[in-house]
Amino acid sequence: MTVSFILNGEDVSARARSADRLSDFLKRAFGLSGAISDCRCGHCGRCLVFLDGRLVTSCLVPAFGVRGKEVVTFEGFAQTADYIDIAEGFKTAGVESCGFCSSARCMAAAALLERRPRPSPKEILEYMSCAPCRCTDPEIIVRGVQTAAEIRSRRLYRRAGR
């Protein structure tokens, strides 16, 4: 079947098989490998995407389920100002992940900051649990998200002032 939807801001359509998961479909039809289909049961969080603004694990979404919807993958998210804030915050705080969970961590942080611009350490750790990884140093992660929150607030404040 042909699935038409908005992918990273562009109208796209491609043929999907009935058994396709969104994560596999994105890779096969569009060459996007940011959403990694790893555990295939929604545990690992490596395949996070924004679906109509909500953070979802794309391995649990059937490809035909995005018809008419908007999908933002890590590749699209990496072009936004939110990503730049988070990347800078993580770098400043010294967040050094193994590299396999980085994209999911950034997207989880963005979803959290959208809901809670000044999150508490507990809220940060709750959100970051959606991308569990052995490389986790909780102290650095909290510091990274809090730094990103400050950078983001400053940017939004500057933009509102204009």
Residues that bind other proteins (CB under 8 A): 17, 19, 38-41, 43-44, 94, 96-101, 122, 125-126, 128-129, 132-141
Pairwise CA distance, residues 109 & 86, whole Å = 7
Q: Is 49 helix (H, G, I), strand (E, B) or coil?
A: strand
Least distance (Å) between residue 142 CB and other proteins:
9
Closest CB to other proteins among residues 84, 125: 125
Least distance (Å) between residue 34 CB and other proteins:
15
Closest CB to other proteins among residues 13, 129: 129
Least distance (Å) between residue 132 CB and other proteins:
4
Pairwise CA distance, residues 73 & 34, whole Å = 7
Least distance (Å) between residue 2 CB and other proteins:
19
Q: Do 64 and 18 contact (CB within 8 A), yes or no? A: yes
Pairwise CA distance, residues 140 & 158, whole Å = 27
Closest CB to other proteins among residues 66, 101: 101
Q: Do 10 and 32 contact (CB within 8 A), yes or no? A: no
**How do strand 10-15 and strand 2-7 relate by DSSP bridges?**
antiparallel
Closest CB to other proteins among residues 8, 37: 37
